[in-house]
Amino acid sequence: MMIIGEHRPTKLVIDRAAIRHNIQEEVQRLPENCELFMVVKANGYGHGAVQVAEAAKAAGATGFCVAILDEALELRAAGFDEPILVLGVVEPKYAPLMAREKVSATVAAEDWLDEAGHYLALSQPREPLRVHLGLDTGMGRIGFQTPTALKQVIAYLDDHTAAFTFEGMFTHFSTADEASTDYFDKQVARWDAFMAVVPNKPRYVHVTNSATSLWHADHNVNIVRYGAAGYGLNPSGKALQPPFELKPAMRLVSELAHCKQLNAGESVSYGATYTSTQDEWVGTVSLGYADGYERRLQGFHVLVDGQACEIIGRICMDQLMIRLPRQYPRGTKVVLLGRSGNQEITLQDLAEYCGTINYEIACGFTARLPRRYVH
């Protein structure tokens, strides 16, 4: 397990009030009998799963979604008794554990039920395993692909009620965050075809992730799987504007570990890719790609005293160097994500520079960075 860097000034600051705001705003928009399940997979998108779950519950979330079983068990160990759905496929041998912990499983193939049923019969848990059927309407990831296959698996579940509880069914829209609705509409049509063969719906029927709920709210059924938007991230980047203000919950801050004057003609960092053309002040920050601060961010900037300071030379595993407008004392605050003075760096800014999406940057910050929670 990676050691947390408690004895250096570099840290992620997580604003729980921002998370509560982003959830409360969405809860107010939901129709009656529609619940919000907060998605806290990948350590809460890098924000801390348990702490995010606490804030989400306080803001009105009634359940949680995760990607793998261990993430669900972390929440159970922390004392959460709300419904938890594992969105990925778990090995059937863990079905008894999921049943005992009242964790809901995603089922994407009927033979999974056969194998899981075998393990359930051996262990005889006190309650059946709760299952949600994944339906592939065009995401192409997991799920049943035809209404015929769906009818067959529902019949299977009806015949095996001692082992399984048919708790839910869902799909995932892959382009809900885009201006064009062509592919989205195709997925909706496929979903409608699935629903036409299900006369008796289970307790939970859900199709909406953050993007779908923000921009296609008329498709909400009775759960919204609220992920990126809960953390203040626009799922579309900048393509679409959300119907309310999303407040970023994450900041990344540090301090100058060293400041020196570099003479004209001298170089900085591995490969000597940066050479000064004049005398200049250079600061060193204790942060690098081992912390998840992308090596690709060479040439980007940080904020010092409300001023943008370019990252010069290659970013090292544990340190990076910046050009300063003047000499600053060791310990001067450095903002790598967040606001300083009138300037701000967002996850979207970092993502665009790296040619990726804001989620990836947030999820990429490693365990070595301590998370500090405010509000």
Which residue numbers are catalytic? Answer: 41, 270
236 sits in which H/E element: none
- What is the rounded distance in angstroms from the CA atom of residue 204 to the CA atom of residue 209? 14
For the annotated binding site, the residues are 141, 317
- List phi, psi (to 5°) of 355: 70, 40
- What is the rounded distance in angstroms from the CA atom of residue 27 to the CA atom of residue 37? 10
CB 89 within 8 A of CB 123: no
- What is the rounded distance in angstroms from the CA atom of residue 186 to the CA atom of residue 313? 47
Burial (0-12, 13-18, 19+ Cβ within 10 Å), 355: exposed
Give the number of other CB atoms < 10 A from CB of residue 336: 25
* Bridge partner list, 254: 334
Half-sphere exposure for 100 (CA within 13 Å, toward CB): 12
3-state DSSP assignment of residue 57: helix
Looking at residue 102, its amino acid is K
- Estimate to the nearest angstrom the gap between the alpha carbon of 64 and the chain centroid: 12
CA angle at 118 for the pair 116 and 121, rounded to the nearest 5°: 110
Looking at residue 45, its amino acid is Y
- What is the rounded distance in angstroms from the CA atom of residue 220 to the CA atom of residue 246? 20
Q: In sequence order, what DSSP letters do the residues of 116-169 get, joined into one string? A: HHHHHHHH--SSPEEEEEEB-SS--SSSB-SHHHHHHHHHHHHH-TTTEEEEEE
- What is the rounded distance in angstroms from the CA atom of residue 78 to the CA atom of residue 229? 24
For the annotated binding site for substrate, the residues are 141, 317
Residue given tokens 């399984």 in the structure block: 164
Count H helices, E strands: the chain?
Answer: 11, 19
Radius of gyration of the chain (CA): 24
